[in-house]
A and B are shown apart, each in its own frame.
Chain A
């Protein structure tokens, strides 16, 4: 059973608009969440993260929101640019006090159209 779920396989957004990528998790013991971006033929690139003691973290055009009661997090990209087109993975860690075991969702493919 998937512990981290990204229910939208794909998302298409116009350049300059906001992109919102969503992620749900089932285990309340997760204490750290990360977003990675992946281009074809490259490894995942770390984008932004958030600890479970916070509800928001911002880095430039990227903001991650965490709603612990709903076990939901989202990544906002504003404004979206064509170079943001990639697959975005949500990941969680912290089960059993371990940081090494990142549990990933299946990813959402973002297409930003000029």
Chain B
């Protein structure tokens, strides 16, 4: 049973560039959430997708956008990268929209130079 998978594992970009991160949820899960984890901090909620729509959003600017595909996989896009966007980006999936327990992937480490 495949868990949550994310790609790529590491990424280096320069300021002003755009980046796309990808996530495949755990088998049987239809809800995907994205989190940003800065060094020494806990993960911070970016947004959640269900039925290909953004259902909830945390306190992140519009430069952060996402998408969910019919197969439940998801993408996180960040435009106009800033140095402060350097972080570990985690994808989590849950069985459905009502489920509290989320299962996380290993993350994508983004470095913005």
Residues of A within 8 A of B (CB): 4, 32, 34, 36, 41-46, 49, 89, 91, 93-94, 98-107
Q: Which of A41, A42, A89, A99 contacts B100 (CB 8 A)?
A: A99
Interface residues as binary, B30-69 with A (CB distance below 8 Å gives 1, 0 otherwise): 0101010000111111001000000110100000000000
How big is chain B's contact interface, by range?
20 to 34
**Please, which residues of chain A bring their CB within 8 A of the CB of B102?**
46, 100, 102
**Please, which residues of chain A bring their CB within 8 A of the CB of B97?**
99-100
Residues of B within 8 A of A (CB): 4, 31, 33, 35, 40-45, 48, 55-56, 58, 90, 92, 94, 97-107
**Please, which residues of chain B bring their CB within 8 A of the CB of A99?**
94, 97-100
A93 CA to B45 CA, complexed, in Å: 11
Q: Are A104 and B106 within 8 A (Cβ)?
A: no
24 contacts between A and B (CB under 8 A): A34-B100, A41-B106, A43-B92, A43-B106, A43-B107, A44-B43, A44-B104, A45-B104, A46-B101, A46-B102, A91-B42, A93-B100, A99-B94, A99-B99, A100-B31, A100-B33, A100-B48, A100-B97, A100-B102, A102-B35, A103-B45, A105-B42, A106-B40, A106-B42
